[in-house]
Amino acid sequence: MSLILLADEVCKASSYFYGFFGAVIALVFAAFGSAYGVAKNGIGICVTGSKKPEQVMKSVIPAIMASIVGIYGLIISIVTATTLGETNYSSYKSFADLAAGISVGLSGIGAGVSLGIVGDAGVRASAQQPRVFTGMLFDLNLCRSTWYLWPHCWVDLNTKNNKREMLCCSLI
């Protein structure tokens, strides 16, 4: 009887809520950051197109970089949601998925906003001085590098074999 109570305590039904919430946070916040970055870059593309129409296609690069942030958020949320079908989904794993979703989502907002601001300013500046374009690409890669750190946090949280997670497997 005590093993059943312990299994219910470790593998609560609310664990699925926290896991799904982590997946949703990763997707929604990364998509919000991506949408903001693309919209902000779109303004710069329109300004550049009115001044120098021949540079419009080159000005699309920051918007493409911003849209990739949303794709990464989608990938992380799909991978997180696929682990929710396990029968031994413990509270530890659910809180790890929630923490990973928060870290991925909030870093997606930060990366999208920074890509939007730098991309907009860089596209407008490259319309006036074409030599600025290379520096803008370098700055965009620095903005994107903040995003690349947090999926590593997600991988670390989801691949650790913790005894609490394994406890649920052994009791059921």
Each residue's pLDDT tens digit, 131-148 = 888 888 888 888 777 666
Quote the CA–CA distance of 156 and 32 in Å, as a whole number: 24
Write the CA distances from 102 to 9, 86, 140, integer angstroms. Answer: 24, 21, 23
pLDDT greater than 90 at residue 36: yes
Quickly count: other Cβ atoms within 10 Å of residue 127's Cβ: 22
Quote the CA–CA distance of 4 and 15 in Å, as a whole number: 17
First to last CA, the chain: 12
Query: What's the pLDDT score for residue 153?
Result: 65
Query: What's the pLDDT score for residue 81?
Result: 84
Query: What's the pLDDT score for residue 169?
Result: 42
Provide the pLDDT confidence category of residue 167 given band limits of 50, 70 and 90: very low
Quote the CA–CA distance of 32 and 28 in Å, as a whole number: 6
Query: What's the pLDDT score for residue 152?
Result: 65
- Name the token pair of 85: 């079908």
Least-confidence region, from 20-29, 81-90, 108-117, 159-168: 159-168
Could you tell me which residues come within 8 angstroms of residue 87 by beta carbon, excluding any fewer than 6 positions away? 172
pLDDT greater than 60 at residue 1: no
Sign of CA dihedral 49, 52, 54, 55: negative
> Is the pTM of the predicted complex or chain greater than 0.95?
no
